[in-house]
């Protein structure tokens, strides 16, 4: 069987890690035909937008996409291509596993956490009012009337939006993921003690949904306490479900626990399409240097193989990557102990080493 998959190389280190990942996926023997399309600042001039419609069309048609990171200019210009893509395709789940691999230089062992982050709401909904605009002024007047608060005239606003519908579907996803993957516990993360009508709503929906899954343990944590507990004893957590912003921050924190962003894969999943990409960004300082670790994107490829039903191949590729990490020879700088950084391998050599392991495993 052949799969048609949309491939978006991205920018910065994106093209290098995408090429490395494409090579290892092809080496597994799975027949994938790639529909290569481009998004980001590099196509802005040609198409008048960093996210051309044909890119979205390709993902809608193929229903599966693999994507490298795309740079978002800070402060001005377009909003994030990544956020826009998730919204346009209603990819409401951001799934980010953080797992310890033997041989990674990190003080934490036996971490196996899956973060289920809501991907479309919260402070990322894109509802903002710029300082000094008539709309910001209207809002300031409204707040004076409804809440009796004197908001400073030079304030900007980003609205935190959490709906019952959005909360319900993400918490359901977390529990059904836990059940399907033989996980034992779901922890909901929030700040409901302060934000009663947004995080409070998320928490009350989570409690309600939890009752439908009596076979899975449920607990909740306030986000600040959660960060402390994750750093102290991450092994106590299993599946974590969180609104967008906390999920984003906790994903990077958990990536740090298992050895850094170079090992943190991710998936954005909706009812009609799924897009697989590493948690990390485009790391512009490493662009074109053959230095970045391609394993987060390779592991995103592993998630993609599982998603399309190629479980055995996914296991084989994950083991090949794990073998390369455990040997510690053919890994990039971020997986080398400080004293051995000079012997670090490049992005493409890591791909060669993973392909070699796949061959040894008989593919």
Q: Which of 87, 191, 291, 357 is an active site residue? A: 191
Least CB distance to ligand NAD at residue 36 (A): 17
Q: Containing H/E element for 209?
A: helix 199-210
The Cα–Cα gap between 306 and 103 comes to 24
Active site residue 191: yes
**Residue that is written with structure tokens 């939006």 in the block:** 161
Give residue number: closest CB to ligand NAD.
281
Beta carbon nearer to ligand NAD, 167 or 332: 332
The Cα–Cα gap between 121 and 141 comes to 25
Beta carbon nearer to ligand NAD, 200 or 256: 256
Beta carbon nearer to ligand NAD, 167 or 279: 279
Q: How many helices (H) and strands (E) does the chain have?
A: 12, 12
Quick check: helix, strand or coil at residue 185? Answer: strand
Report the candidate in 36, 37, 33, 38 with the shortest Cα–Cα distance to residue 4: 33
Active site residue 199: no
The Cα–Cα gap between 187 and 184 comes to 10
The Cα–Cα gap between 230 and 266 comes to 19
Is residue 303 within 8 A of residue 96, CB to CB? The reply is no
Active site residue 99: no
Sorted by sequence, the CB contacts under 8 Å of residue 88 that are 6+ apart come out as: 51, 56
Least CB distance to ligand NAD at residue 362 (A): 29
Least CB distance to ligand NAD at residue 314 (A): 20
Strand 112-118, strand 185-190: pairing: unpaired
Is residue 233 within 8 A of residue 55, CB to CB? The reply is no
Q: Which of 92, 101, 108, 124 is an active site residue? A: 124
Beta carbon nearer to ligand NAD, 14 or 310: 14
Beta carbon nearer to ligand NAD, 58 or 282: 282
Active site residue 291: no
Q: Which of 11, 122, 199, 248 is an active site residue? A: 248
Q: What residue ranges in the chain does DSSP mark as E strands? A: 2-8, 31-36, 64-67, 93-99, 112-118, 128-129, 157-158, 185-190, 217-222, 239-242, 267-269, 274-276
Least CB distance to ligand NAD at residue 115 (A): 14
The Cα–Cα gap between 51 and 44 comes to 8
Least CB distance to ligand NAD at residue 270 (A): 16
Beta carbon nearer to ligand NAD, 216 or 345: 345
Is residue 23 within 8 A of residue 298, CB to CB? The reply is no
Q: Which of 131, 141, 196, 224 is an active site residue? A: 224
Least CB distance to ligand NAD at residue 67 (A): 7
Q: Which residues bind ligand NAD (CB under 6 A)?
A: 13, 69-72, 82, 261-262, 277, 280-283, 285, 292-293, 296, 334
Residues with a catalytic annotation lie at 124, 191, 224, 248
């Amino acid at each position: 069987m052949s799969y048609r998959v949309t491939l978006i190389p991205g920018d910065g280190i994106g093209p290098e890690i995408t090429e490395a990942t494409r090579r290892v996926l092809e080496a597994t023997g799975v027949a994938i035909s790639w529909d290569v399309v481009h998004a980001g600042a590099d196509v802005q001039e040609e198409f008048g937008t960093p996210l051309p419609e044909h890119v979205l069309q390709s993902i809608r048609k193929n229903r599966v996409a693999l994507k490298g990171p795309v740079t978002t200019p800070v402060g001005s210009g377009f909003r994030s291509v990544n956020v826009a893509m998730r919204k346009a395709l209603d990819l409401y789940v951001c799934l980010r596993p953080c797992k310890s691999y033997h041989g990674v230089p990190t003080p934490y062992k036996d971490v196996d956490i899956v973060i289920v982050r809501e991907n479309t709401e919260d402070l990322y909904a894109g509802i903002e009012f710029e300082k000094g605009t008539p709309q910001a002024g209207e809002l300031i007047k409204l707040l004076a009337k409804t809440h009796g608060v004197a908001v400073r005239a030079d304030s900007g606003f980003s609205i935190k939006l959490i709906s019952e519908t959005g909360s319900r579907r993400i918490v359901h996803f977390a529990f059904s993921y836990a059940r399907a993957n033989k996980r034992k516990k779901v922890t909901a993360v929030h700040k409901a003690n302060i934000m009663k009508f947004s995080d409070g709503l998320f928490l009350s929906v989570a409690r309600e949904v939890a009752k439908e899954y009596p076979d899975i343990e449920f607990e909740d944590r306030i986000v600040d306490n959660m960060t402390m507990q994750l750093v102290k004893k991450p092994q106590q957590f299993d599946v974590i479900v969180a609104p967008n912003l906390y999920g984003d921050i906790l994903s990077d924190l958990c990536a740090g626990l298992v050895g850094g962003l170079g090992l943190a894969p991710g998936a954005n999943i909706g009812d009609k399409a799924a897009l697989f990409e590493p948690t990390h960004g485009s790391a512009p300082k490493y662009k074109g240097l053959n230095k970045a670790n391609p394993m987060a994107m390779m592991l995103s490829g592993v998630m993609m193989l599982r998603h399309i039903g190629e479980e055995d191949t996914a296991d084989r590729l994950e083991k090949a990557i794990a073998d390369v990490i455990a040997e510690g020879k053919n890994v990039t700088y971020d997986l080398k102990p400080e004293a051995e950084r000079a012997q670090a391998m490049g992005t493409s050599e890591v791909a060669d080493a993973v392909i070699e392991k796949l061959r040894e495993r008989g593919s």
